Amino acid sequence: MPKELVVSASPHIKSGVTTEKLMWSVVIALLPAFLGSIYFFGLKSLLLVGLSIASALLSEAFAQKIFGRKITITDGSAVITGILLAFNLPPGVPLWMPIIGSAFAIIIAKQFFGGLGYNFVNPALAGRAFLMISWPYFMTAKWLAPNNGYLAGFDAVTQATPLTLLKNTLVSMKDSTITPEQLALAKNTLTQLNSLPVIKNLFFGNVGGCLGETSALLLLVGAIFLLATKVIDYRIPVSYLGTVTILSLIIPTQTNVLFQLFSGGLFLGAFFMATDYVTSPVTKLGRWLFGIGCGLLTVIIRTWGGYPEGVSYSILFMNLLTPLIDRYTKPRVFGVVKK
């Protein structure tokens, strides 16, 4: 008789999908946008992302050590948080910002609540929100013009993001003291924002913005990889982007649909942050609702809110609704008749 037989409950075979594989797949999917950020914003991007990842990993190890948990920094989840946090920073921020941001994301937003699987908001977005309210100047005024591949130094030209430009223009137009010349200028800016070259730059990423958000194309490449390998479910991105598309057609945003879709952090948010497993619903219907909610809030904040961009706050807000959505979208159990 064999010495030791293992006894365990069924099933005795596994699909081979593991948490680690899923997490590292997301890291791989973020690589095109990462390379893009280096192309557009120079080597400083490499430094910011690198520091952010290093800080996320160290914070995770530190917190797990303190809390007496198993150290799991190789599971890839902290790496994702590090990358995403850096992707949400303007390229002009000082080097300590990704370090502080990632530390907050991992220690406060993730480990304080129990670590992987227990955080109630997306750690990277929580980190970004923390930086936003603590150092609003760095987070909103440090936009740089992309350098078209020139591996830039650290003193690049500043340039507002298309969404900031849009917001400022629309605000100035509502000002009653506006002169006819200024009004004409503002209208000209609006026309330009809706022009084909601008849309094209938005799609390829040749515009000012956060490190990882500018190129819709490169984000899409990663997203298609994640959808094709079934790492992420299509429901959230489809309903999120679909809602933004429909609302942009209905609401007078002064811009066309493509501008709304490709600008700001929408693609980064819809494919890589709203789809964060831990903080989004597990049911099919719940995922549709979650995406619709994100889309609705994004358009509302962009159109009527004080900020030019609303993706991160929309997702953070919907994260809070996730437990509720799960509870109210419990699937009808086989053989149970709805009362």
Partner 1 sequence: MFSFSGGVHPPENKATAEKRIESAPIPHRVFIPFSQHTGIPSQPIIKVGDMVKVGTKIGEADGRISVPTHSTISGKVTEIREYPHPVLSRRSLTCVIESDGKDTWEEGIKWRNSTEFSSQTLIEIIAEAGIVGLGGAAFPTHIKLSPPKEKPIETLIINGCECEPYLTADARLMIEHPTEIIEGAMLIAKIINPKRIVIVIEDNKPLAIEKMREVVNQRSLPITVLAIKTKYPQGAEKQLIKAVLGVEVPSGGLPMDVKTLVQNVQTSYAIYEAVNFNKPLVEKVITVSGAVKEPKNLRVRIGTPIIDLVNYCGGYLAPPHKVILGGPMMGIAQYNDELPIIKGTSGILVLTNDKIREESPCIRCGRCVKVCPMNLMPCLINSFVRLKAFDKAKEYNVLDCIECGCCGYVCPANIRLVHSFKFAKNEIWAREKKSA
The minimum distance between CB 268 and partner 1, in angstroms, equals 20
The minimum distance between CB 252 and partner 1, in angstroms, equals 37
Cβ closest to partner 1, residue 28 vs residue 178: 28
Answer yes or no: are the C-beta atoms of 283 and 331 closer than 8 Å: yes
The minimum distance between CB 52 and partner 1, in angstroms, equals 21
Location of structure tokens 């992707």: 87
The minimum distance between CB 206 and partner 1, in angstroms, equals 35
Cβ closest to partner 1, residue 75 vs residue 309: 75
Answer yes or no: are the C-beta atoms of 299 and 244 closer than 8 Å: yes
The minimum distance between CB 307 and partner 1, in angstroms, equals 29
Burial of 128 (0-12, 13-18, 19+ CB in 10 A): buried
Cβ closest to partner 1, residue 74 vs residue 158: 74
Location of structure tokens 């304080």: 112
Q: Distance from first CA to last CA of the chain, Å, rounded?
A: 55
Cβ closest to partner 1, residue 213 vs residue 276: 276
Answer yes or no: are the C-beta atoms of 87 and 37 closer than 8 Å: yes
DSSP string covering 285-303, please? HHHHHHHHHHHHHHHHHHH
Q: What is the torsion angle, in degrees rounded to the nearest 10, for the CA atoms of residue 214, residue 218, residue 222 and residue 225?
A: 150
The minimum distance between CB 195 and partner 1, in angstroms, equals 41
Residue numbers of the site for partner 1 (CB under 8 A)? 1-3, 5-15, 17-19, 21-22, 72, 75, 77, 114-118, 233, 277-278, 280-284, 287, 326, 330-337
Cβ closest to partner 1, residue 65 vs residue 330: 330
Cβ closest to partner 1, residue 187 vs residue 284: 284
Q: How far is CA 54 from CA 62, 67, 139, 146, in A?
A: 12, 20, 21, 25
Query: Residue 219 is encoded by which pair of tokens?
Result: 């984000």
Query: Residue 98 is encoded by which pair of tokens?
Result: 């990704």
